[in-house]
Chain A
């Protein structure tokens, strides 16, 4: 697919669960071959943004264009066409528990291509080799450690040679050494493959390591969209707070605070 301009873009994108709006009309562009990190704290809406970009959540209004298709108005088959061109590595792996690691990686190839079984087998081994799990092809997901599950999920996400790779919290729940290993893996992929990478994380160190550009989300708004150097120089109070790991202050207006205890009595 050759498209000029951004490969993913959001236009006045709003998403709500029930009555609660999570993303308040955000605008962004992601260019082909770029590595973008979406950074934000818990409840910032970064996971919702990721789910919207892969079509798991429907925008309430606005548009989200992925590879030339507006997911907000795409039909089921259009959505599936987009999904065959993207890969998502889930936070917990989300490997199908009843299948071996190899079968998980082979699944999209078997369903969506007409390749020979032997070709698929070779491709599965190549993908597993890329994430360092070749020896674990015949293991069940339950036999893998957390870091290995994430690697296996990545192998599955890469199975169809996607144009866009999404990562949901790649280093969450991992010890620093394993997490660093995943970062290196992402950077190697970035060099080796012609692929757009979108990583959602709250890990600062890994964000600055892998990103070309960083989008900072805070309470459903984009507060920054810039290169790592620009971001470090930013004077925006929320960004400074996030970068310097300053907790939210509990001390607000004293009268307001007291009112919490006395209202509706």
Chain B
């Protein structure tokens, strides 16, 4: 039966595509509901605000040290790698430009997203997954507290505020990291390095990074919470959904990054 051999791979591709689209649809629905709860939720505003600010502390403020270190080191690394190539052209004075552009446009938002996935995306899935296993989600429902409004909305609001904030901080730390090499390895002082950075950057570079970071925040919250709600019964399921949250988030963040970078490239030139 030669036809069968062609039909099977095609149908499995079709199934995978359908599943992927259904997943994205579910994600959009979850985020849409979480947004709707901001305006229509019977939950009290003041309490929702309290929960959102608590989440903002956990997602954002507590992540500052680790993000500072990582992006600082990445700044140094980018300067070293850039210098390796620039030196051959005698263009070592362009190190500040290379670091500034690669950090603000790409690495600042991306690295921030990856750290936030590791810290918070996984925690969302584990928290909601555990609550599902222990019937806490059912308990919220029977108390007429909607789990999405109660759990997802505060996380989403916190994420939308904290991701750009963390990204700006990451940009700054990355540039500072680059300046370490600039001062030690090239002929900069801290002052000339920073002013070279300022000259190299357009406001557009920073804005595109921040736009990306907001979309990353949506993806991380959506995937983390969706995987949490999709947790089956049993504690090993919580581990599965946590892993799925991290892997899927990283994949989607990079995919979204690609799409947005392409859009920015086409619409505004490099």
Contact = CB atoms under 8 A, between A and B. Distances in A.
Given A94-B135, A94-B136, A107-B143, A80 B44 contact: no
A94 B138 contact: yes
B47 interface: yes
A84 interface: yes
Nearest to A166: B142
A91 interface: yes
A56 interface: yes
A110 B127 CA distance: 22
A95 interface: yes
A259 interface: no
A112 B142 CA distance: 13
Contact of B136 (A83, A87, A96): A96
B47 A110 contact: yes
B141 A83 contact: yes
B142 A96 contact: no
Contacts of A256: none
Contacts of A55: 141-142
A55 B144 CA distance: 10
A54 interface: yes
Contacts of A242: none
A110 B42 CA distance: 12
Interface residues of A, number: 28
Given A97-B131, A110-B47, A56 B142 contact: yes
A97 B134 contact: yes
Contacts, number: 62
Contacts of A51: 138
A196 to B, nearest CB: 16
A90 B143 contact: no
Contacts of A54: 142
A98 B144 CA distance: 19
Interface string A99-127: 00000000110111000000000000000
Nearest to A91: B135
B111 to A, nearest CB: 29
A83 B144 CA distance: 6
A56 B42 contact: no
Contacts of B44: 110-111
B80 to A, nearest CB: 43
A97 B142 CA distance: 17
Max chain A Cβ within 10 angstroms of own Cβ: one of B130, B140, B143: B143
Given A90-B138, A110-B44, A97 B144 contact: no
A97 B130 contact: yes
Max chain A Cβ within 10 angstroms of own Cβ: one of B136, B138, B141, B142: B142
Contacts of B144: 79-81, 83-84, 108, 111-112
A83 B142 contact: yes
A94 B141 CA distance: 11
A86 B139 CA distance: 12
B201 interface: no
Contacts of B143: 83, 107-108, 111, 156
A108 B47 CA distance: 12
Contacts of A87: 142
A156 B139 CA distance: 10
A80 B138 CA distance: 13
B59 to A, nearest CB: 15
B43 interface: yes
Interface in A232-252: none
B131 A92 contact: no
B145 interface: yes
A77 B145 CA distance: 11
Nearest to A79: B144
Given A80-B42, A97-B130, A111 B145 contact: yes
Interface in B6-54: 42-44, 47
A108 B141 CA distance: 11
Contacts of B131: 96-97
B138 to A, nearest CB: 6
A92 B141 contact: no
A41 B43 CA distance: 38
Contacts of B130: 97
Max chain B Cβ within 10 angstroms of own Cβ: one of A80, A94, A107, A111: A111
Given A56-B138, A90-B135, A97-B131, 18 more contacts: A55-B141, A80-B42, A80-B144, A81-B144, A83-B143, A87-B142, A92-B135, A94-B135, A95-B136, A95-B139, A96-B131, A96-B140, A108-B145, A111-B43, A111-B143, A111-B145, A153-B139, A156-B139
Interface of B: 42-44, 47, 127, 130-131, 134-136, 138-145
Interface of A: 51, 54-56, 77, 79-81, 83-84, 86-88, 90-92, 94-98, 107-108, 110-112, 153, 156
9 contacts: A51-B138, A88-B139, A90-B138, A94-B134, A98-B127, A111-B44, A111-B47, A111-B144, A156-B139
